[in-house]
Amino acid sequence: MRIVDIRETAIPLKSTLANSSFDFTEMTTSVVAVITDVFRSGKPVCGFAFNSTGRYACGAQMRARFIPRIIAAEPVSLLDETGNNLDPAKIFDCMMRREKAGGHSERSIAIGTIEVAIWDAVAKIADKPLHTILAERFSDGKIADKVFCYVGGGWYWPGQTIKDLQDEMRRHLDAGYTMVKMKVGGLPLDQDLRRLEAVLEVIGSGKHLAVDANCKFDRDESLRYARALSPYKLRWFEEPCDPLDFALFADLTEVYEPPLATGENLYSTQDVENLVRFGGFRAGRDVIQIDPPQAYGIAQYAKTLEMLSRRGWPRTSLFPHGGNQMSLAIAAGFGLGGAESYPGVFGDFGGFADDASIEIGTISLSERPGIGFEGQARLYRIMRELAAL
Ligand code: MG
């Protein structure tokens, strides 16, 4: 068997929302199709992925380096030992040829998106859901049937009132979620605290509410927010400051006892290791939110988990960023703390299978082979067109 073609296209997300730091009006994502010569029901098996949300499309690197390297490789050199399926680790090594150390995010998103599409193909060829394949390879075969899932919501939008925000949170609870996250840092602290208290009235307890500052604050403002938020004992306080300011993270852990969270803007195992070595991040308390398609993909994610495990971190402290079926399959397959959901936020790229159900804060998993994009009609239309299926 072999990879026949790898295609990519950039699609706009068409979102009008904003966090504390930027709006999403220009946001795009790269959709990737890996087309194989394996046939099922008369059609070629194709693996799909996209580069999650929050980072722009990265087709230039894919077209110039990573896709040509894979296509030029001897096909048999990319197969596993059975010769009947692709080997994601060999394909990763092929993409990394002639790449210099460091400088991760220049390539980690392009490579990670292709790598996740390869896994989708691998699972489809094996005729199993991706979460099952991952559980077999990385989690002693412990196969989840549902995953804890919380809503990343509470955005800022023009003309929004406190009541609008409370209504949004009520909708999430009515939909079956038990935990929500809201943005902070888009308004002065006193107004953000009024929003927070209004949401707590709906949610009931800080245990079920996280806040996300999207890296907005400088040192003084981070510490000021940390001190002000501390008494609410929130589930976590996400991205208070620059994602690489490990010294400031360490200082924040001195003044902020409840969990801190970060990781969606870290792109390598080494970056995450630096966070836990130098950022004061507390094993078993704080939360790490790497986005696997943006950080070299699933096999690298497994290596990051191994590193964290050596440093005493339980897998339940990891909540992959993304709010999509890729992160959901990864959360299920590796037995992580849970997944994020962005209901109705990122157009065709937010959300899960059309038939997924949320019950008491957990989401059901698709039994479709692969990641399960085929069960997400609007997104799958884009993927099918790209692959000309
Ligand atoms: Mg975030």
pLDDT in tens, the chain (389 residues): 999 999 999 998 877 778 888 888 889 999 999 999 999 999 999 999 999 888 999 999 999 999 999 999 999 999 999 999 999 999 999 999 999 999 999 999 999 999 999 999 999 999 999 999 999 999 999 988 899 999 999 999 889 999 999 999 999 999 999 999 999 999 999 999 999 999 999 999 999 999 999 999 999 999 999 999 999 999 999 999 999 999 999 999 999 999 999 999 999 999 999 999 999 999 999 999 999 999 999 999 999 999 999 999 999 999 999 999 999 999 999 999 999 998 877 888 888 999 999 999 999 999 999 999 999 999 999 999 999 98
State in Å: Cα 343 to ligand 1 middle. 15
Any idea what the Cα angle at residue 388 is, between residues 383 and 389, rounded to 5°?
Answer: 80
State in Å: Cα 152 to ligand 1 middle. 8
Task: List the structure tokens of 240.
Answer: 């208070």
Domain 3-128+382-387 coded CATH 3.30.390.10 = yes
pTM over 0.75: yes
CB atoms within 10 A of CB 306: 12
Is 321 labeled as catalytic in the residue annotation? yes
Catalytic pick from 128, 181, 183, 208? Answer: 183
Domain 137-374: give its CATH architecture: Alpha-Beta Barrel (3.20)
Any idea what the Cα angle at residue 352 is, between residues 347 and 20, rounded to 5°?
Answer: 50
Sign of CA dihedral 165, 56, 288, 301: positive
Domain residue ranges in the chain: 3-128+382-387, 137-374
Is 208 labeled as catalytic in the residue annotation? no
